[in-house]
Amino acid sequence: MAAVLGARAVARQRVHWTDRAGELMLAALAAALAAFLVAPLAAILLQSIEDARGRVIGLDNYFAYFETPALAHSLWNSVWVSLLVTALVVPAAFAFAYGLTRSCMPLKGVFRTVALTPLLAPSLLAAISFIYWFGNQGVLKEWMQALGIEQIYGAPGIVLAQAFSVFPHALMILITALSLADARLYEAADALGTGDARKFFTITLPGAKYGLASAAMVSFTLVITDFGIPKVIGGNFNVLATDVFKLVIGQQDFQKGAVVAVFLLAPALLTFVVDRMVQRKQTSMLSARAVPYAPRASRGFDAAITAYCSVVVLLMLAVFGMAVYASFVKFWPYDLSFSLRHYVLGLVDNEAGTAFGNSLKLAFATALAGTATVFAGAYLTEKLRGAAWLRATVQFLGLLPMAVPGLVLGLGYIFFFNAPDNPLNFLYHSMAILVACTVVHFYTTGQLTAVTALKALDAEFESVSASLKVPFWKTAWRVTLPICTPALVDISRYFFINAMTTISAVVFLYSPDTRLASIAILNLDEAGEPGAAAAVAVLIAATSLVVCILYLGLGWLVERRTQTWRKPA
């Protein structure tokens, strides 16, 4: 009788308690992402359709926004500046990436490293540096004015500084796109007697089109959502990102602030969707049988591209160098002798020293908590057998942060956690909320790295373990984790560097006790101490650099300690 019943009913396996424990962990993670990502975003959307007393009024805030000429003007400013930077950066980065991947240029490693260094510094560093070059007391102010630009403060400064800090992001995407070349296509074209220009337009460019689209979208989004650069070098030129800050922190007009945040969310969401589509197309483009492309020497072309890349790299070094130089100068521009005055002023007198300590704390905590959370999440979504619905939810929530600009996330945190009736209100103004916010802000890249590493493992490890009665976490600890340590090192470095340099989200959340170094730059600059601001920015960049080198060492150690099995006997 029992057998008959069993055959009729749809059978469901009993869940082993170890699997149940995994599902509970995953549920906890989903709840955390709901509280620290979904709820703040929902709070923004809700705020944007409510009036000041919390009544739902539909789209009135949006209409009011467009009826405020100054605000509508900022929207236009943001859009055209972002478009201009995109139009400048994408071709420039494409040419640079082309040189790195398709030429026999010497010193490729050096070019690549220098071009990616802006990633180590807060974006503010570029803005400060351009002030020293072209500002009121800038070295090359006359040159600029000879070109017909009256002053750097405003759109010109924003465009230049943004171009500098967005360049490496576009470059990374385009290097990847151009590396995915199938040599067989070029050989076939050669066999058919195709000219170089035609090969470029019929093979290279179509092959990189997804990368170009992605680079353009990412550039646009980074510029339109960046807050630090327009704050420092924007002068009276208003953009959306600075409006949000003024509306929320200055005028306490949460409703209009929320409306602007929604405007910033839109391009980022669009970028996210396009990027996901692009990723899917790009991976399917290169078949497993493709032959990697190896560039051949061509004297004229190699020389030209080397010259171009050298100019770009020199410009970057000039931006960096000026910030470093200015930070060590006694009294710009009158006394250019060497001095540590700005470092003393910045770190000691203005308590940026404690801020710097806070930044390090934040970076360490983010690297630890972020890596652990991201890896646990990726592991459970990849390896658990049941709870399909839960796994899909966590996977999606893990991808979502890429579509949320830091400024929007930070604003959402204010709306959500500052609400007096929120039981999580005690987190507000704590270090913990800064860590949570930063982990969520940079969650996606970590998750993608972890998932890629996990997908490379044999899918049957867990099946074998179950048959041997070994609980899954033991296998995770003894097998999965050791194999994935290089990826873990990468993820934690990514969290660390970004926590050191980020401004956009945390600028809404710090308290007097949790001031951060990157925010100290803003405050010092506002207080009329650009030298000290430069000093702190340089210190952050230097710290990131040192940490990168330490990570390199760590990576080497990890490689030796945990990856010996990869080598044949």
Partner 1 sequence: MAGGAPFLRLEGIRKDFGSFNALRDIRLEVARGEFVCFLGPSGCGKTTLLRIIAGLETQSAGTLHQDGRDISRLPPAERDYGIVFQSYALFPNLTTYDNVAYGLVNRRAGREAIAARVAELLRLVGLPEAGAKYPAQLSGGQQQRVALARALATSPGLLLLDEPLSALDAIVRVHLRSEVRALHQRLGVTTIMVTHDQEEALSMADRIVVMDHGAIDQVGSPLEIYREPATPFVADFVGKVNMLAATVRGPGRVQVAGQTFTGVAVDKAAGRSVRAYLRPEDIVARPIAESDANVFEATIEKIEFLGSYCLVRVRAAGMEEQPLTVYLSLNFLSEQGLAQGSRLRLRVLAERMRVFEA
Q: Which residues bind partner 1 (CB under 8 A)?
A: 3, 6-16, 18-19, 385, 458, 460-461, 463-471, 474-475, 478-479, 482-483, 562-569
Tally of CA atoms within 13 A in the half-sphere of 377 that contains its CB: 31
- State the Cα angle at 448 between 444 and 450, rounded to 5°: 115
DSSP type of residue 251: S
* Helix or strand (DSSP H, E) at 247: none
> Residue 386 CB, nearest distance to partner 1 (Å)?
9
Q: Structure tokens of 274? A: 């396009």
- Rounded distance between C-alpha atoms, residue 18 and residue 466, angstroms: 10
DSSP type of residue 458: -
> Residue 475 CB, nearest distance to partner 1 (Å)?
8
- Rounded distance between C-alpha atoms, residue 76 and residue 65, angstroms: 13
End-to-end CA distance of the chain: 59
Comparison of 62 and 461: residue with beta carbon closer to partner 1: 461
Long-range contacts of 557-564 (CB under 8 A, 24+ apart): 558/485, 558/486, 558/489, 559/486, 562/482, 562/483, 562/485, 562/486, 563/485, 563/486
Q: Which of 263, 86, 84, 78 is nearest to 173 (CA)?
A: 86
Per-residue buried b or exposed e for 292-322, using 16+ beta carbons within 10 Å of the residue's own CB: ebebeeeeebbeebbebbeebbeebeebbeb
> Residue 22 CB, nearest distance to partner 1 (Å)?
12
Instruction: Check: CB of residue 547 under 8 Å from CB of residue 541.
Output: no
> Residue 461 CB, nearest distance to partner 1 (Å)?
6
> Residue 396 CB, nearest distance to partner 1 (Å)?
22
φ/ψ of 331, rounded to 5, equals -150, 90
Comparison of 53 and 567: residue with beta carbon closer to partner 1: 567
Residue with tokens 């490496």: 168
DSSP type of residue 56: B
Instruction: Check: CB of residue 407 under 8 Å from CB of residue 248.
Output: no
Instruction: Check: CB of residue 270 under 8 Å from CB of residue 410.
Output: no
Tally of CA atoms within 13 A in the half-sphere of 490 that contains its CB: 15
Comparison of 13 and 284: residue with beta carbon closer to partner 1: 13
Comparison of 103 and 475: residue with beta carbon closer to partner 1: 475
Bond prior to 91 in cis (omega within 30° of 0): no
Comparison of 303 and 557: residue with beta carbon closer to partner 1: 557
Comparison of 16 and 108: residue with beta carbon closer to partner 1: 16
Q: Structure tokens of 505? A: 């989200």
Comparison of 357 and 386: residue with beta carbon closer to partner 1: 386
Comparison of 231 and 391: residue with beta carbon closer to partner 1: 391
Comparison of 297 and 569: residue with beta carbon closer to partner 1: 569
> Residue 478 CB, nearest distance to partner 1 (Å)?
7
Q: Which of 110, 280, 283, 93 is nearest to 175 (CA)?
A: 93
Q: Which of 557, 518, 442 is nearest to 36 (CA)?
A: 442
> Residue 26 CB, nearest distance to partner 1 (Å)?
17
> Residue 469 CB, nearest distance to partner 1 (Å)?
5
The amino acid occupying position 262 is: V
> Residue 370 CB, nearest distance to partner 1 (Å)?
24
Q: Structure tokens of 539? A: 């210190």
> Residue 28 CB, nearest distance to partner 1 (Å)?
21
> Residue 463 CB, nearest distance to partner 1 (Å)?
5
Comparison of 284 and 564: residue with beta carbon closer to partner 1: 564
Beta bridge partners of 116: none
Comparison of 149 and 390: residue with beta carbon closer to partner 1: 390
> Residue 525 CB, nearest distance to partner 1 (Å)?
50
> Residue 23 CB, nearest distance to partner 1 (Å)?
12
Comparison of 286 and 470: residue with beta carbon closer to partner 1: 470
Which stretches of 175-325 are assigned E, i.e. beta strand? none
Beta-carbon contacts of 471 under 8 Å, excluding residues fewer than 6 positions away, are: 18, 465
Comparison of 147 and 468: residue with beta carbon closer to partner 1: 468
Comparison of 39 and 479: residue with beta carbon closer to partner 1: 479
Exposed, middle or buried, 567 (CB in 10 Å: 0-12/13-18/19+)? exposed
> Residue 473 CB, nearest distance to partner 1 (Å)?
12
